[in-house]
Chain A
Amino acid sequence: MSPSGFNRHGVWAIYRFEMARFLRTLLQSVLTPVITTALFVVVFGAAIGSRMTEVDGVSYGAFIVPGLIMLSLFTESISNASFGIHFPKFTGTIFEILSAPVAAFEIVLGYVGAAATKSVLLGLIILATASLLVPITILHPFWMITFMVLTAVTFSLFGFIVGIWAKNWEQMQLIPMLIVTPLTFLGGAFYSIDMLPPAWRTVTLFNPVVYLISGFRWSFYGKSDVGVDVSLGMTLVFMLLCLGAIAWIFRTGYRLKN
């Protein structure tokens, strides 16, 4: 490693360490979200879907699949990344990361890269599972993957922040439970926001998750609640906000160094 160069061995060490953790807990990491999603598709798709007309020309069971994948991407990205950085803080092994010749962005690359990788893999597994249960078409595969990767990275960044911010395990659960899950359920995962009364539609547009789900669903069925460019823009804005927060954390040592 040159004195000022990129510490690729360091990044790789962190990335591989995190992926090893994922593989150790493979069963629970994959099985839980897959089963949950399958239940949603079956229960909502079959029970409610049979009483509903198609949404935007898509059967209800198929309509909710992109939203469900997004829901898993959000929660898994946050929990993976927050756990990854919170655990060393909790056990004290963080001292080694802080004393190593790795730059802040390299630490983030290792942890967030691994968390995002896991989420994308999981998203693809859920997609494969769902496609066994309901007919799914993907009109824009490139954009589907792009939205998936961008969302996984963005929420992993967000999870990384949560993991550093949280003082204990309880606080770690707080953000996903109190903010992300409600926003997702109200963000059009299970309905098109066109189905809402006009007043509520306007309120919903303040929910950033709406844009993420809408763009992702467009890549499947070519129909969206808001413009795809707006969706992409919102994702990028959120990502930049997270990057800014992380840069601030490392510059000030907030809850990392004293």
Chain B
Amino acid sequence: MPGVISISNLTKTYATGQHALKNVSLEIRAGEIFALLGPNGAGKTTLISIVCGIVVPTSGVVRVAGHDIQREYRAARAMIGLVPQELAIEAFETVRATAAFSRGLFGRAPDAAHVERVLRDLSLWDRRNDVTMTLSGGMKRRVMIAKALAHEPRILFLDEPTAGVDVELRRDMWALVRRLRDQGVTIILTTHYIDEAEEMADRIGVVNHGELIVVEDKAVLMKKLGKRQLTLTLQEPLAAVPAELADWQLALNADGHELQFTFDAALEQTGVAALLRRLEQLGICYRDLNTRESSLEEIFVSLVGRGARQ
């Protein structure tokens, strides 16, 4: 089944000759939270801008709920709300007027009740009659979201929604995203805060140098690419890793008090049991041991790093 957004062979070369996107294909499923990860300049914003109609693709096809974004742009765009990275709102308008403006612009009849609901959801109702330029940066960010939600979009793009945002707003934002998902809104967010993707996303796509390197369910991605790490806290410090343990490629940390073993959790024989037996044979005693999974951040760094080496 094709996704709610279907991107095929999308390429963008800017007039400067910069290849922002190279043959990207991607299906976004209805109702999911999809996180696009990638370093600055990877092409995340270009991808979003093309789907939203702000940037003209060099080649490729994008369909939103089956509507071609160029030939049937009205139907496609009416479904989409966009919160761009840059704060850009009409400085001299009131909060309520600017949200109502966005609703009209996207072709919806005025609906004061809906605008009120959106403003209340974003804790903006008390400031509804304030001129936007008098608001703080965080409040302006909320106004941007209110504008994007004013026309009841079925798909919401959030481009770096929490960049430069305080903890409270960040939590509010996450709660809002979950609430929208519960209402069936499809959400695509870009971020370079990996913990955000880890916390929020159903699926993750990693973009680097204009290419989509990986698209995977978050859980699968973390399982497939995740490494596990075993840390042994020793009773007596070691001066060096004994030669008998060379097979495990251990790391000696904390002034010789900790041995660290990194292994692939997906393997049948992880080597953990053998390592522990060997330690016993060598008479090396440990006080404590713990294992942990590598974070999405480590996965991401290894993916992007690999891409860079190619």
Contact = CB atoms under 8 A, between A and B. Distances in A.
A binds B: yes
Chain B interface residue number, banded:
35 or more
B78 A258 contact: no
Interface string A227-255: 00000000000000000000000000100
Contact of B78 (A1, A17, A91, A92): A1
Interface of chain A, helix or strand or loop or mixed? helix
Nearest to A97: B105
Nearest to B81: A99
B92 to A, nearest CB: 6
Contacts of B56: 253, 257-258
Query: How big is chain A's contact interface, by range?
Result: 20 to 34
A92 to B, nearest CB: 3
Interface string A97-108: 111111100000
A91 B78 CA distance: 23
Contacts of A14: 105
Contacts of B97: 20
A170 interface: no
Interface stretch (B67-75, B166-174, B268-276): B67-75
Given A24-B92, A258-B14, A13 B74 contact: no
A159 B148 CA distance: 29
Contact of A9 (B84, B104, B147): B104
Interface in B167-195: none
A13 B105 contact: yes
A178 B97 CA distance: 37
Interface stretch (B32-40, B106-114, B257-265): B106-114
Interface string B85-112: 0101111110001001111111111100
Interface of B: 14-15, 52-56, 67, 72-78, 80, 82, 84, 86, 88-93, 97, 100-110, 147
Given A96-B147, A253-B56, 5 more contacts: A10-B107, A16-B101, A95-B54, A102-B107, A258-B15
Interface of A: 1, 3-5, 7, 9-10, 12-14, 16-17, 20-21, 24, 88, 91-93, 95-103, 253, 257-258
14 contacts: A1-B107, A7-B107, A12-B104, A13-B105, A17-B90, A93-B90, A96-B105, A99-B52, A99-B77, A101-B78, A101-B107, A103-B74, A257-B56, A258-B56
